[in-house]
Amino acid sequence: MGAIISCPRLGVNIDHVATIRNARGGRHPDPVRAAHQAVEAGADGITAHLREDRRHISDLDIARLKSEVTRPLNLEMAPTSEMLEIARRHVPNACCLVPERREERTTEGGLDVISGGRALQPIVSSLQDVGIRVSLFVEPDANAIDAAVDLQADIVELHTGSYCEAALIDDAEGFAREFRRIELSTKRAHDAGLEVHAGHGLTYTTVGRIAALSEVVELNIGHFLIGEALFVGLNAAISRMRIVIEEARQQAQSKSSSKVRRRREAS
């Protein structure tokens, strides 16, 4: 009998369907329709970031995603009282707390869980009080992981932005260094009892090494998939991403079982 492969879940972030809709106002393209299609194509969950300036996802999108989509909703949000009230009203499956600056193009860098811990604590517990799992979007760094443990978060989502950026500019040294940081952080977080997610900037090229890390249970991917969907369709883009993820995890698992087998035979 073959070994059971534990594959990371794929959360599809549909923010940029809303970015295109908002370029002209109106209702098309509808991010909720994209979410339905993503689920049909194999998404395990839907992720959406309700930003303070509503530049993509709107309040109505969140309400519809929660009530219409059958897979878990991961709401990304800044740790503010406005967002806390919205999250407690809709009760998504999880909230991923992210830093937010108006002038940034996307979420640049992880949450300051170290000096900002005191302010985050009541938000984390208030979300957990209504049954929402809390994820903290952090840099792959030991101090950040330890702070997330102290905050009693359920999940850490490791920021893969620097790792993907190094791949983009062909910086082999930076790529190896950033990957190592992620690798060490996944182990540290997992050993401390946190569920480990990862995301930001992932593509077909960069997702494999992250998916191969056995501690990673969820990957959240948006911009690349929505961009790729322009050329091949959302269904094909998501299906291919799933295949890349599954193959990477499968290869990593069979490599590690052969290693165990060889060690047993040698002893």
The tokens of 262 are what? 């060889």
Residue pair 226/202 in contact by the 8 Å Cβ criterion: no
Q: Does 137 bind ligand PXP (CB under 6 A)?
A: yes
- Residue labelled with tokens 């991917």: 221
- Spatial distance between the Cα atoms of 223 and 45, rounded to a whole number of angstroms: 16
Is there binding between residue 96 and ligand PXP (CB under 6 A)? yes
160 φ/ψ angles, rounded to the nearest 5 degrees: -100, 10
Query: Does the annotation count 49 as an active-site position?
Result: yes
Question: Which is nearer to ligand PXP, 22 or 253 (by Cβ)?
Answer: 22
Closest CA to 10 of 32, 38, 49, 31: 38
Contact 82, 52 (CB under 8 A): yes
Per-residue x/- mask for ligand PXP, residues 180 to 219, rule CB under 6 A? -------------------xxxx-----------------
Which residue among 16, 36, 49, 197 is the active-site one?
A: 49
Per CB under 6 A, which of residues 213..252 are in contact with ligand PXP?
Answer: 220-224
**Does 98 participate in binding ligand PXP (rule CB under 6 A)?**
yes
Please confirm, yes or no, whether 76 is among the known catalytic residues.
yes
Q: Which is nearer to ligand PXP, 49 or 190 (CB)?
A: 49
Helix (H, G, I), strand (E, B) or coil at 215: coil
As a whole number of angstroms, the distance between CA 176 and CA 224 comes to: 22
Residues tagged active-site: 49, 76, 200
Which parts of this chain interact with ligand PXP (CB under 6 A)? 13, 15, 49, 76, 96, 98, 106-107, 137, 157, 199-202, 220-224
